[in-house]
């Protein structure tokens, strides 16, 4: 910081070292006698003028590297248009409506950037001082035509941005079309509950939709405010207690899309993820058919032991497994948990090892998780895992 100040001082007062007030004068020099002060300033100015030239040479080198670095960063940022978290390559009409507004605003701002930077560069080149004089340039105050222009022009640009934005806000808040598949979504600390009234399905953290059929999501919260967001599908929408928000969209191609809670909702907000699978009509019906069937009783002895442990050790207090006495709806539905790709709301692959780790100590995986850490033996955990993994 001191070097910058000194370089600045050397440049600023190089032409008038004795008369200008030295605003950056250091405290040690303030107490020098008047005669030596003049000599000190003279030597100081010469010394700092040298430093100044070094600083300028350095910044010229830096300037040479900046454009290729910026270009590289731009290219790298645009490499993966299929990235799970990208918003610029949507797969629904809902996402595309938002993307269209984004693209329009992008080109408006590119045009503004070019005009403003162009004028700036023009002014720098055209009006730079051509002599060594440090006189102040002529000061100009007010230019009516310019002031009218730079008041009206931004207003016109804002209108061009506001009209498509407001039109899109209404478009993406529209009612779902007739025949849409209703899915009730409830956000909880920290998992997602999905219900399909049409099929009588209840599931968690993994949402399946048929390609080509509009879906009508009814978004609610079981506790605090969450936000439903699947970047490739479209914009975020909050899940607010005592209120139902909606999103309607139609998935246009099969795929697996990453979802994430997008509103801070407590310690494990970042670990509140989910996955959306857009299935072709046949696969969706197959999935739905399986999901609405009750759990099949296990035959494997270890899994049978696990089923007993599940019903007696405490799991039953929160979870539902259709076809068994476990009917609590506090925690995620587990009727077909063995079929899911992830557990613990999208954060662990659904492997026996991960499931055992999760059941042993949920809080070590997801800080603050409401799932109780039960006093289970390793054998009990292994048996419960064998049972749950078998719930296909």
Residues of this chain that bind ligand CUA (CB under 6 A): 187, 190, 226, 261, 263-265, 269, 272
Pairing of strands 206-210, 215-221: unpaired
Name the residue nearer to ligand CUA (CB basis): 3 or 85.
85
Nearest to residue 91, comparing CAs of 213, 228, 252? 252
Residue 225 or 311: the one with the smaller Cβ distance to ligand CUA is 225
- 30, exposed or middle or buried, with CB in 10 Å at 0-12, 13-18, 19+? exposed
- Single out the residue of 183, 203, 182 nearest to residue 192, CA to CA: 203
CA angle 281, 282, 288 (to 5 degrees): 85
User: Strand, helix or coil at 372?
Assistant: coil
Angle of CA points 149, 155, 160, to nearest 5°: 125
Count, residues in the chain: 392
We find the least distance from the C-beta atom of residue 275 to ligand CUA, in angstroms, to be 15
- Read off the tokens for 354: 């991960």
How many whole angstroms separate alpha carbon 183 and alpha carbon 203? Answer: 11
Minimum gap (Å) between residue 234 Cβ and ligand CUA: 18
Task: Give the nearer residue to ligand CUA in terms of CB position, either 113 or 264.
Answer: 264
Burial class (CB in 10 A: 0-12, 13-18, 19+), 388: buried
CB of 227 to ligand CUA, least distance (A): 7
Q: How far is the CB of 337 from ligand CUA (least distance, A)?
A: 21
In the bound state with ligand CUA, the residue whose beta carbon lies nearer, of 265 and 309, is 265
Nearer to ligand CUA, 222 or 254 (CB): 222
51-69 burial: b if 16+ Cβ within 10 Å, else e? ebeebeeeeeeeeeeeeee
Looking at the Cβ atoms of 204 and 313, the one nearer to ligand CUA is 204
Q: Which is nearer to ligand CUA, 204 or 388 (CB)?
A: 204
CA atoms of 375 and 361, how far apart (whole Å): 10
Minimum gap (Å) between residue 360 Cβ and ligand CUA: 24
Asked whether 197 and 182 are in contact (CB, 8 A), the reply is yes
Task: Supply the minimum distance, in Å, between the C-beta of residue 346 and ligand CUA.
Answer: 12
Question: Tokens at residue 337, please?
Answer: 């948990």
Our CB check for ligand CUA shows the closer of 208 and 269 to be: 269
Q: How far is the CB of 236 from ligand CUA (least distance, A)?
A: 11
- Measured from the CB atom, is 10 or 183 closer to ligand CUA? 183
Residue with tokens 């055209």: 126
Smallest separation (angstroms) from ligand CUA to the CB of 201? 22
Helices 378-389 & 301-312, crossing angle to 10 degrees? 110
CA geometry: angle 72, 77, 82, nearest 5 deg = 140
Provide, rounded to whole angstroms, the least separation between the CB of residue 270 and ligand CUA.
Answer: 8
Determine the distance from the C-alpha atom of residue 185 to the mean position of all C-alpha atoms in its chain, rounded to a whole number. 20
């Amino acid at each position: 910081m001191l070097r910058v100040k000194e370089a600045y001082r050397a440049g600023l007062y190089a032409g008038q070292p004795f008369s200008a007030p030295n605003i950056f004068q250091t405290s040690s020099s303030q107490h020098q006698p008047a005669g030596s002060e003049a000599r000190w300033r003279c030597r100081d100015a010469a010394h700092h003028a040298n430093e100044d030239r070094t600083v300028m040479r350095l910044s010229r080198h830096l300037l040479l590297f900046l454009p290729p670095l910026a270009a590289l960063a731009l290219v790298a940022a645009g490499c993966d248009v299929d990235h799970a978290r990208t918003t610029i390559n949507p797969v629904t009409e809902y996402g595309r409506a938002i993307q269209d507004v984004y693209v329009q605003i992008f080109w408006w701002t590119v045009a503004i950037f070019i005009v403003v930077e162009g004028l700036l560069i023009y002014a720098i080149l055209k009006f730079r001082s051509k002599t060594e004089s440090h006189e102040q340039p002529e000061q100009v105050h007010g230019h009516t035509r310019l002031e009218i222009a730079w008041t009206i022009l931004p207003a016109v640009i804002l209108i061009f941005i506001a009209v498509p934005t407001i039109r899109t806000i209404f478009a993406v808040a529209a009612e779902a079309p007739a025949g849409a598949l209703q899915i009730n979504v409830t956000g909880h600390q920290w998992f997602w509950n999905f219900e399909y009234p049409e099929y009588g399905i209840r599931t968690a953290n993994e949402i399946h939709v048929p390609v080509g059929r509009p879906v009508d999501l009814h978004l609610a919260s079981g506790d605090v405010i969450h936000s439903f967001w699947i970047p490739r599908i479209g914009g975020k929408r909050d899940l607010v207690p005592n209120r139902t928000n909606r999103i309607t969209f139609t998935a246009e191609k099969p795929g697996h899309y990453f979802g994430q809670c997008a509103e801070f909702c407590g310690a494990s907000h970042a670990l509140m993820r989910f996955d959306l699978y857009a299935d072709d009509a046949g696969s969706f019906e197959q999935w739905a058919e399986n999901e609405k069937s009750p759990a099949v009783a296990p035959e494997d002895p270890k899994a049978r032991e696990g089923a007993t442990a599940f019903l007696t050790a405490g799991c039953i207090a929160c979870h539902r497994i259709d076809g068994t006495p476990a009917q609590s709806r506090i925690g995620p539905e587990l009727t077909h948990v063995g079929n899911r790709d992830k557990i613990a709301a999208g954060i662990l692959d659904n492997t026996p090892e991960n499931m055992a780790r999760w059941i042993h100590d949920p809080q070590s995986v997801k800080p603050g998780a409401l799932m109780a850490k039960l006093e289970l033996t390793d054998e009990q955990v292994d048996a419960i895992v064998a049972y749950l993994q078998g719930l296909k």
